[in-house]
Structure 1
Amino acid sequence: MRILVLGFTGYLGGHIAGQLRALGGVRLFGAGRAPTADLPIDLATATTEHLADALADFSPDAVVNCTGALGTDPVTDAEVNARGPAVLCAALRRAAPAARLVHLGSAAEYGASGHGVRVTESSPTRPAGTYGATKLAGTVAVASSGLDAVVLRVGNPVGPGAPPMSLPGRTALRLRRAGTDPDAVLRLGELSAYRDFVDVRDVARAAVLATTVPGPLPRVLNIGGGRAVPIRDLVRTLADVAGFRGRIDETADAGAGSVRSAGVGWQCSDIAAAREALGWEPRFTLADSLAALWASECSRPRLETMP
């Protein structure tokens, strides 16, 4: 089976590529902006014609799209999260119409929901910001493409290698710098919102299953932990794992909140459809994820600066 992974060096893409490599009978190709890519491509600027020609050369049986802008600015979000999937779908229709497309969406596409509500794939989509809106546009492009395609709407990924731009990764980096200093202050801002955290290794396993399982799949599947956790609990648990002895500052202006989830106090996904379609459910607890995150953070080279 020939599988092309776009964004294969990113956080999610790296874990997905790693699990695909471990499968027998798979020939894996990496695509993206990394110098090691088998297919050098930037979906934000690629033309349909150029991408179709490249895809024809690789003749993939499946394509996994892990690319995505993380809410840095509206233009980049639109180019990568909305335009990119549309161009990819158009190119696949020309060059590899029988290939399965697995596209990583985001639970941010749902926006705010009532406290205690688990959103299903048929729940209304009311994204609260540019990130969620552009991810939703990408989902619409994929779901309406006519291809053998599925969108995995991923919750808040956490676990080994979490990048510093994510709240778990940023918190781990700051905890490492703080060490066990009892006078240290960790300024993160208000932490009362609830999020559905899912281990990155569980996300990768869902993507592998979606890529390889035979037969048609639903257009959209939620991939999350299936429960809502206060962000405060994640931070304090990670601080305990790190042996942090200082103070956590939760005042509203103490830290910059995530632009991806501004205004969303509760997010939790119903994952029953993924269990039925893929035979998938999370294997890692949040405690497992945070222990693995801290171990991976401690294994990184020491940095003199941090975000």
Structure 2
Amino acid sequence: MRILVLGATGYLGTHVAEQLRVRPDARVLVGGRSPAADVTVDLAADRPQDLAAALAEAAPDAVVNCAGATGGDAATLAEVNARGPAVLCAALRKAAPGARLVHLGSAAEYGPTEPGVRVTESAPTRPAGPYGATKLAGTVAVTASGLDAVVLRVGNPVGPGAPPTGLPGRVAALLAASFADDGDDPEAVLRLGDLSARRDFVDVRDVARAARLAVTAEGPLPSVLNVGGGKARPVRELVRALADAAGFRGRIVEEEDGGSARSAQVSWQCSDITAAGDVLGWKPAHPLDASVAALWAATGRRAGPAAGVAAR
């Protein structure tokens, strides 16, 4: 089985490619802008006909699109998150119409939801900012494509390799930096924004397993499946767990003007993951503490000896 993973060098894509390689019958092809990629692809810039030619040569049985942008201005987000999936679908219809497409969307597409309620895939989508809006546009392009396609609407991923563009990776990087400045000092201070929001955290390795199951599932799949932890956890809880895993002995200070605009607009986020369990036989396997511990272990290795010593 030939499986093309787009964005395979990114946070989610790295784990997805690794998970797919577990299958003995799978040949995983890497797609991206690097000349070293098996298939050279730039979803933000390629013309559909050029991408179709590359796909025809690769002849994939399935494509997993992990490419996406989480930061940048609205134009950058639109190029990658909205235009990219639309171009990919157009190219697949021409070059590999029988290939299954698994596209990674985002729970940010739902926008503000009612506190205490887990949102199902049929819930209204009212994204609160450009990121969620552009991810929703990409989802619409996929679900309206007529292809054998499914969108995995992913919650807040956490785990090894989390980038500093997201809260878990940013806090891990700040903790690693603090240890270079005596972060094991009980007088050390970690200053963050408001941490009162609740988010649906899901281990990146569980996301990768869901993608593998979606690639290999028999028969047509629903157009959208939620992939999350199924619980709304206080962001404060994640930060405290990460600080504990790191051995941080200082204080965590929440500053009113340091939070993100999205946290202020979306105070609660939790997905109903029943459908993914019914259709894929999937459920999250990693508890939050294990995800946080794996994130810190990876961050400590990257940060060097100082962080590694402090974490003990």
TM-score, normalization: structure 1? Answer: 0.96
Q: Residue 44 of structure 1 corresponds to which residue in structure 2? A: 44
Counterparts in 2 of 1:238-253, with a 5 A limit? 238-253=242-257
Contact map agreement 1:194 1:229 (CA 8 A) in 2: yes
Q: In structure 2, what is the equivalent of residue 104 of structure 1?
A: 104
Give matches, 1:5-84, under 5 Å: 5-84=5-84
Contact 2:40–2:54 under 8 Å retained in 1: no
Judge conservation of contact 1:111–1:132 (CA < 8 Å) in 2.
yes
Among 211, 215, 221, the alignment partner of 1:211 is: 215
Mapped contact 1:128–1:261 kept (Cα < 8 A): no
1:249-268 equivalences in 2 (<5 Å): 249-253=253-257, 255-257=258-260, 261=263, 263-268=265-270
Instruction: State the alpha-carbon separation in 2 of the partners of residues 262 and 16 from structure 1.
Output: 31
Alpha-carbon spacing, 1:59–1:268, altered in 2? closer, same or farther (3 Å)? same
Deviation at 1:29, TM superposition (A): 0.5
The residue type paired with residue 288 of structure 1 is: A
Cα drift, residue 166 of structure 1: 1.1
| Alignment partner, residue 292 of structure 1 | 294
Q: CA RMSD in A?
A: 1.4
Deviation at 1:181, TM superposition (A): 2.0
1:162 matched residue in structure 2: 162
CA–CA distance in 2 between the matches of 1:36 and 1:182? 47
Residue deviations 1:267-304, cap 9 Å, x none? Answer: 00000000001000000000010011111111114499
Do the aligned residues in 2 keep the contact of 1:186 with 1:249 (CA within 8 Å)?
yes
Deviation at 1:183, TM superposition (A): 2.2
8 Å contact kept, 1:52–1:95? yes
Residue identity opposite 1:37 in structure 2: A
Counterparts of 1:97-136 in structure 2, within 5 Å, are: 97-136=97-136
Amino acid corresponding to residue 60 of structure 1 in structure 2: P
Residue 297 and residue 42 in structure 1: after superposition, are their counterparts in 2 closer, same or farther (change >3 A)? same
3-state SS in 2 of match to 1:97: coil
User: Which whole-Å CA distance do the structure 1 matches of 2:174 and 2:301 have between them?
Assistant: 15
| Preserved CA contact (<8 Å) 2:176 2:303 | no
Partner of 2:91: 91
Q: Per the alignment, do residues 261 and 130 of structure 1 end up closer, same or farther by CA in structure 2, a change over 3 Å counting?
A: farther
Closer/same/farther in 2, CA of residues 4 and 139 from structure 1, 3 Å limit? same
Per the TM alignment, residue 71 of structure 1 is displaced from its structure 2 partner at its CA by: 3.1
Contact preservation (8 Å) 2:81, 2:135: yes
Change (3 A) 1:134 1:169: same
CA contact (8 A) 1:104 1:154 kept: yes
* Counterpart for residue 279 of structure 2: 277
Letter in 1 for 2:107: A
Moved more, 241-250 or 295-304: 295-304
Q: Distance in 2 between matches of 1:204 and 1:301?
A: 25
Q: Which has the higher helix share?
A: 2
Partner secondary structure for residue 227 of structure 1 = coil
> Is the partner of 2:256 in helix, strand or coil?
coil
Q: Which residue of 1 aligns with 2:194?
A: 190
Equivalent AA in structure 1 for residue 298 of structure 2: S
Runs of 5+ consecutive residues of structure 2 not aligned to the other structure: 307-312
Q: Distance in 1 between matches of 2:263 and 2:81?
A: 16
- Counterpart Cα distance in 2 of 1:129 and 1:303: 39
Unmatched 5+ stretches in structure 1? none
Moved over 4 A (4+): 259-262
Q: Following the alignment from structure 2 to structure 1, what is the Cα–Cα distance between the partners of residues 36 and 263?
A: 33
Q: Which amino acid aligns with 1:58?
A: A
- Asked if 2 retains the 8 angstrom alpha-carbon contact of 1:68 and 1:80, the reply is yes
| Distance in structure 2 (CA, Å) of the matches to 1:275 and 1:248 | 37
Letter in 1 for 2:89: C
For residue 173 of structure 1, report the CA deviation from its aligned partner. Answer: 1.1
Cα shift at 1:261: 4.9
> How many Å separate the matches in 2 of 1:170 and 1:181?
20
d(CA) in 2 for partners of 1:84 and 1:116? 34
Q: What amino acid does structure 2 have at the position aligned with 1:38? A: D
1:107–1:132 CA distance, 2 compared to 1 (3 A) = same
Q: Tell me how far apart the structure 2 counterparts of residues 55 and 22 of structure 1 sit (CA, whole Å).
A: 23
What is the CA–CA distance in structure 2 between the aligned matches of 1:288 and 1:22, rounded to whole Å? 22
- Distance in 2 separating the partners of 1:53 and 1:175: 46
Matched length:
302
1:116 aligns to what SS in structure 2? coil
